Amino acid sequence: MNRTLDFNQYQQGLEEDRLLGLRCKACATVTVPPQAVCRSCAGRDLAVEELEMRGTLRSFTVIRVAAEGLTPPFVVALVETASGAWVMGNMEEIDPDAVDMALMGRAVTIGSKSVPGDIYAVGDMRSLTFRLA
The pLDDT of residue 3? 57
pLDDT score recorded for residue 122: 73
Of the candidates 16, 15, 22, the residue with the CA atom closest to the CA atom of residue 85 = 22
Distance from C-alpha of 133 to C-alpha of 129, rounded to nearest angstrom: 12
pLDDT confidence of 1, banded at 50, 70, 90? Answer: very low
pLDDT average, residue stretch 71-99: 96
Q: What is the mean pLDDT of residues 46-59?
A: 96
CA-to-CA dists, residue 43 to 33, 36, 96, 105, angstroms? 16, 9, 39, 30
pLDDT tens per residue, range 54-83: 999 999 999 999 987 789 999 999 999 999
What is the average pLDDT across 18-25?
95
For the chain, domains (ranges, CATH) are 1-51 (no CATH), 53-133 (2.40.50.840)
Q: Which pLDDT band holds residue 118 (cuts at 50, 70, 90)?
A: confident
Edge-to-edge strand order for the sheet containing 19-24?
30-31, 19-24, 46-51
- pTM: predicted TM-score of the whole model, two decimal places: 0.89
- Asked if residue 2 has pLDDT above 60, the reply is no
DSSP string, 28-58: --EESS--SS-TTT----EEEEEEPSEEEEE
